[in-house]
């Protein structure tokens, strides 16, 4: 469990201009009903003593006053903006619309990361156990485990529907380790938000930690798993400025620092494979990437992650030799054998509560082979069984894997009649 940095004791210990803290407090007061020092401290993720210190300065400027409903204890006091304070808050919003935790200086972030050299890689035992959910040959499982736990760039390739995306998803359950991350960083007068609640999973506080002894602007997170697919655009490789929120959003590979970055359906993105690899593989080799703020100023962020690609395209037809060399692990996920297809049918039939009639699995495997014209996929049993379940629900009878139901399902799924299979 990595230790959070100690709590700042004074405003200047935050590492950002005092005027920025005052502006942030004014904006927070403007948006908060009956704010108290403790509530404001939670919003800014700083100790209450620092909020009181800043409030004292704002009261001297006659921007803030206590309400008549304030309690006896200072911690119970409620504050409100004066008319001058309302005008000051409006001016603060014009300078920046950001409201939230006080950002951490980029230099502090880099100093903390200087001591964290690990990258997010799955635990070999946990990954091997997770892959038991799939029906794969032992040598394929061994190759996948070796590639994904090496910490080096890897690529899973092969025909669609054979489990590449599922393997990536299972990796997310096997990543080990905990890292530190600030909610946002301050660089050259700009704010870059790193924490994303859709990506990062926070870890509970250690015993004895309070807002008075640790810096709440930092979080403990499980080493992240960031998954991007065909929606990735060229502009997503850089910082994205949101004028409505007043801060830059970090791109996926910065959010994935210290974890695993998975690029699914590689080659189908709006950004070309060459552009993506030139950007990310080169950055991985350097351990950092340079991006642009909205003002055009260039800043450098650390980038140490495990990066895994998944593609339906044969690597040699899509990539240059230089790119292929930089991805040392290229694992083909093959089509299932008839025996493997039968095992997949058994597993999904049990999970989906489908009865198996006499010879149902053997007949279903042969029908899929015919209807797909030999292009069988690991996803076919699940999809065919789902159609059988839906038909059974429609006619109000128990779902059974038997020749008639399988033939009808294959006919609509493949748009091809597999014919009758003789006993």
Q: What is the pLDDT of residues 6-61, one digit of tens each?
A: 999 999 999 999 999 999 999 999 988 778 888 899 999 999 889 988 998 999 99
Residue 384 near residue 409, CB atoms below 8 Å: yes
Q: What pLDDT is recorded for position 105?
A: 95
Task: Classify residue 367 as exposed, middle or buried by CB count within 10 Å of its CB (0-12, 13-18, 19+).
Answer: buried
Q: What pLDDT is recorded for position 122?
A: 85
Q: What pLDDT is recorded for position 70?
A: 56
Instruction: Count CB-CB contacts under 10 A for residue 314.
Output: 12
Domains in the chain (CATH in brackets) are 11-101 (1.10.10.10), 137-177+223-332 (3.40.50.300), 338-414 (1.10.8.60)
Residue 302 near residue 110, CB atoms below 8 Å: yes
* Ramachandran area for residue 220 (φ above 0: left; ψ -120 to 50: alpha; else beta): beta
pLDDT class of 116 with cuts at 50, 70, 90: confident
Instruction: Count CB-CB contacts under 10 A for residue 80.
Output: 19
Q: What pLDDT is recorded for position 335?
A: 95
Q: What pLDDT is recorded for position 352?
A: 95
pLDDT digit string, tens, across residues 238-259: 999 988 888 999 999 999 988 8
Residue 209 has pLDDT above 70, yes or no: yes
Residue 173 has pLDDT above 90, yes or no: no
Q: For residue 128, give both structure tokens.
A: 């091997």
Q: Which residue has the tokens 């697919």?
A: 229
Q: What pLDDT is recorded for position 71?
A: 56
Q: Where is pLDDT greater, at 174 or 343?
A: 343
Give Cα separations from 146 to 159, 175, 295, 326 (angstroms): 21, 14, 43, 17
> 138-149 vs 164-172: helix axis angle to the nearest 10?
50
Residue 136 near residue 162, CB atoms below 8 Å: no
Residue 205 has pLDDT above 80, yes or no: no
How far is 101 from 122, CA to CA, in rounded Å?
32
Mean pLDDT of the chain, nearest integer:
89
The number of angstroms, rounded, from the C-alpha of 155 to the middle of its chain's C-alpha atoms is 19
At 47 the three-state DSSP class reads coil
Residue 77 has pLDDT above 80, yes or no: no
Give Cα separations from 345 to 99, 150, 228 (angstroms): 53, 33, 30
Q: For residue 51, give both structure tokens.
A: 């909020």
Mean pLDDT value of segment 351-370: 94
pLDDT class of 99 with cuts at 50, 70, 90: very high
- How wide is the angle at C-alpha 298 spanned by C-alphas 274 and 192, nearest 5°? 95
Lowest mean pLDDT, pick from 117-131, 287-301, 304-318, 353-367 = 117-131
Q: What pLDDT is recorded for position 45?
A: 93
Q: For residue 8, give both structure tokens.
A: 């700042």
Mean pLDDT value of segment 160-170: 92
pLDDT class of 86 with cuts at 50, 70, 90: very high
pLDDT class of 387 with cuts at 50, 70, 90: very high
Instruction: Count CB-CB contacts under 10 A for residue 100.
Output: 19
How far is 381 from 118, CA to CA, in rounded Å?
40
Q: What pLDDT is recorded for position 200?
A: 93
Mean pLDDT value of segment 205-212: 71
Lowest mean pLDDT, pick from 113-117, 281-285, 314-318, 372-376 = 113-117
Sheet with 190-193: strands ordered across:
104-105, 184-187, 190-193, 247-249, 240-242
Mean pLDDT value of segment 106-115: 86
Q: What pLDDT is recorded for position 371?
A: 95
- Which phi and psi (to 5°) does residue 257 adopt? -55, 130
The residue among 167, 128, 119 whose CA lies nearest residue 146 is: 128
- The H helix count followed by the E strand count for the chain is 16, 18
- List beta partners, residue 262: 227, 308
Residue 422 has pLDDT above 80, yes or no: no
Q: For residue 74, give both structure tokens.
A: 């200072």
How far is 241 from 16, CA to CA, in rounded Å?
20
Q: What pLDDT is recorded for position 376?
A: 95
pLDDT class of 72 with cuts at 50, 70, 90: low
How far is 196 from 183, CA to CA, in rounded Å?
8
How far is 342 from 385, CA to CA, in rounded Å?
12
Q: For residue 87, give both structure tokens.
A: 């005008």
Share of residues in the chain with pLDDT > 70 (%): 96
């Amino acid at each position: 469990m990595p230790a959070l940095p100690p709590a700042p004791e004074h405003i200047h210990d935050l590492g950002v201009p005092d005027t920025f803290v005052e502006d942030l407090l004014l904006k927070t007061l403007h948006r908060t009903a009956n704010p108290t020092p403790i509530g404001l401290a939670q919003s800014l993720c700083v100790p209450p003593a620092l909020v009181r210190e800043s409030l004292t300065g704002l009261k001297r400027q006659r921007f803030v006053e206590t309400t008549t409903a304030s309690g006896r204890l200072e911690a119970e006091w409620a504050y409100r903006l004066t008319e001058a304070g309302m005008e000051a808050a409006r001016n603060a919003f014009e300078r920046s619309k950001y409201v939230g935790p006080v950002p951490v200086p980029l230099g502090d972030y880099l100093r903390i990361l200087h001591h964290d050299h690990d990258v997010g890689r799955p635990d070999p035992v946990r990954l091997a156990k997770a892959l038991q959910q799939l029906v794969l040959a032992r040598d394929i499982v061994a190759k996948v485990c070796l590639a994904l736990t090496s910490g080096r760039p890897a690529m899973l390739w092969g025909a669609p529907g054979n489990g590449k995306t599922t393997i990536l998803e299972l990796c997310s359950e096997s990543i080990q380790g905990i890292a530190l991350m600030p909610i946002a960083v301050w660089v050259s007068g700009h704010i870059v938000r790193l924490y994303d609640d859709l990506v990062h999973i926070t870890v509970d506080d250690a015993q004895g930690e309070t807002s008075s002894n640790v810096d709440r602007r930092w979080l403990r997170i499980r080493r992240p798993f960031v998954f991007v697919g065909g929606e990735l655009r060229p502009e997503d490789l850089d910082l994205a400025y949101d004028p409505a929120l007043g801060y830059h959003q970090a791109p996926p590979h910065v959010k994935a620092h210290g974890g695993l970055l998975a690029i699914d359906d590689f080659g189908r993105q709006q950004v070309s494979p060459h552009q993506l690899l030139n950007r990310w593989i080169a950055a991985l080799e350097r351990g950092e990437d340079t991006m642009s703020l909205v003002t055009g100023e260039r800043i450098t962020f650390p980038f140490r992650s495990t990066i895994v690609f998944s593609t339906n395209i044969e690597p040699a037809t899509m990539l240059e030799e230089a790119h292929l060399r930089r991805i040392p692990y290229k694992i083909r996920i093959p089509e299932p054998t008839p025996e493997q297809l039968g095992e997949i049918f058994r597993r999904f039939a049990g999970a989906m509560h489908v009865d198996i009639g006499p010879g149902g699995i053997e007949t279903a495997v042969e029908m899929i082979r015919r209807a797909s014209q030999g292009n069988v996929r690991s996803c076919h049993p699940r999809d065919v069984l789902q159609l059988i379940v839906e038909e059974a629900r429609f006619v109000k009878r128990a779902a059974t894997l038997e020749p008639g139901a399988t033939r009808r399902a294959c006919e609509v799924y493949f748009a091809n009649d597999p014919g009758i299979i003789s006993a």
